[in-house]
Amino acid sequence: MKVTLLGTGTSSGVPTIGCCCDVCTSGDPHNRRMRCSALVETDTTRILIDCGPDFRQQMLMQSFRRIDGILVTHAHYDHVGGIDDVRPFCTFGDIDVYADVCAAKALRQAMPYCFAENKYPNIPDISLHVISPHVPLTVGDITVMPVEVMHGSMPILGYRFGRFAYITDMKSIGDEELPYLDGVDVLVVNALRFVKEHHSHQLVDDAVDFARRIGSQRTLLIHSSHHIGLHEDVNRMLPDGVELAYDGQTLLV
């Protein structure tokens, strides 16, 4: 499978509006981070993880082909604010959207016109499916295992694909979830910054500790704010096997 990290930034993106720090004014494209999203692809199947407000811009840089499914981690705006922009991809047919019960309810409330009995013309043709942790689903030729993590006090979903896992916006994870991540070799996981505790997001040390707990051989940090520092500097400080991800980065897993 091929994984493309479409966006690796936090909810405000990088550069952050009104900020003149070294990261936000950097000319290095590695320091420009759109809101978090990823593509997981085989020759026949394409899955999108989250569909944030930068979706249109992200997909203009990708080939135009069918999206077979959208996996929602949770319904915060930076993760679902671009769902209306999937309309061009509906020329290939309806798009299946998978979310837990809370995120599905929030989507119906935020975008009622997409789910009305008499739909407005030219809205996205999406089919919403409620999924649960630990109940695998199959999209095309890709099997997905949803795993529950905690975004502060809010349960959200991470996703495992074979020996690869994608987790964002995690603050903590229950011990009972760890067996579902056993054998993961490549981990993409959130790390907001190095210092100053956050109520609902991991810091870098938290992410490194978590990667070691599950035995990941390669860990890429996402959902990072401008406070994390310059991409090149951060990678010099990280331990072996851990790196700061960047927008457009591709992985073969």
Which domain CATH number covers 38? 3.60.15.10
Q: Which of 198, 207, 195, 196 is nearest to 244 (CA)?
A: 207
Cα–Cα distance measured from residue 61 to residue 106, given in angstroms and rounded to the nearest whole number: 29
4-20, pLDDT tens digit by residue? 999 999 999 999 999 99
pLDDT (0 to 100) of residue 151: 98
CA 144/CA 165 separation, integer angstroms: 10
**Token duo for residue 107:** 């989507």
Q: What confidence score (pLDDT) does residue 116 get?
A: 77
Q: Are 23 and 14 in contact (CB under 8 A)?
A: yes
CA dist list (Å): 131 to 33, 99, 207, 241:
29, 6, 26, 32
Tell me what pLDDT residue 119 has: 77
* pLDDT for the residue 32: 98
Q: Are the C-beta atoms of residues 49 and 222 closer than 8 Å to each other?
A: no
Residue 114: per-residue pLDDT: 84
Question: Which residue range(s) make up the domain with 30?
Answer: 2-252
Query: CA–CA separation, 163 vs 185, rounded Å?
Result: 5
Residues 25, 40: Cα–Cα separation, whole Å: 31
Give the number of other Cβ atoms within 10 Å of residue 232's Cβ: 12
Quote the pTM value.
Answer: 0.97
pLDDT tens string 152-163 = 999 999 999 999
The count of structural domains within the chain is: 1
Secondary structure E strands in 104-151: 126-130, 137-139, 142-151
pLDDT digits (tens, 9 = 90+) for 23-57: 999 999 999 999 999 999 999 999 999 999 999 99
Interatomic CA distance for residues 193 and 122, integer angstroms:
41
- pLDDT(117) > 80: no
Tokens of 52: 């944030």
- Contacts for 156 with CB less than 8 Å, ≥ 6 apart: 73, 74, 100, 103, 148, 149, 150, 169, 170
User: What mean pLDDT value characterizes the chain?
Assistant: 97
